[in-house]
Structure 1
């Protein structure tokens, strides 16, 4: 991938949506929920604090993360879908 996020932004590859429930019921495309889990594929340099110091990101490439349902902006690069979001939109690292 030839994209580098700026500042405290992170690019996440969302996980695939669930195809069927645990009991085996197949979920139609119209009822699938947007995934809230993904893998970090690129990380920016970090945020500059009010004192002028660079604060390094807490996530790194390869981390599996949880994020809010409506977090980030959807982008498409080379036919693959990604989300670009601020590091503060990430809720947890798995």
Structure 2
């Protein structure tokens, strides 16, 4: 990807939601809600404080994050739908995925 976000902005790819419920019912595309979970694709260098120093971001490329339903701006880069949002729009990083990767 040839896109670099500025300041405290983050590029996120939504994680696809499941097509079936636990009971085996198939959910049609029209009834699906957009997932509120995604993978960080790119991060900016960080925001500047009052002294002009850059404050590094808490998230990094590859993190799985949760964000608000209406967070970010939807864009299309190279035919792929992505979200650009500020770090403040992210509610948290999902740590379970990181723990499973370390165990493998």
The interval holding the TM-score normalised by the smaller chain is: over 0.9
Structure 1 unmatched ranges of 5 or more: none
Aligned with 2:30: secondary structure?
A: helix
Q: Does 1:50 align with 2:50?
A: yes
Q: Does 1:83 align with 2:91?
A: no
TM-score where L is the length of structure 1: 0.96
Deviation at 1:30, TM superposition (A): 1.3
Q: What is the aligned partner in structure 2 of residue 6 from structure 1?
A: 6
Deviation at 1:18, TM superposition (A): 2.3
CA RMSD of aligned residues (A): 0.7
Q: What is the aligned partner in structure 1 of residue 69 from structure 2?
A: 69
Structure 2 unmatched ranges of 5 or more: 95-104
Larger % of helix: which?
2
The 1-side partners of 2:18 and 2:70 are apart by 18
TM-score where L is the length of structure 2: 0.87
Runs of 4+ more than 4 Å apart: none
Aligned with 1:35: secondary structure?
A: coil
Deviation at 1:7, TM superposition (A): 0.3
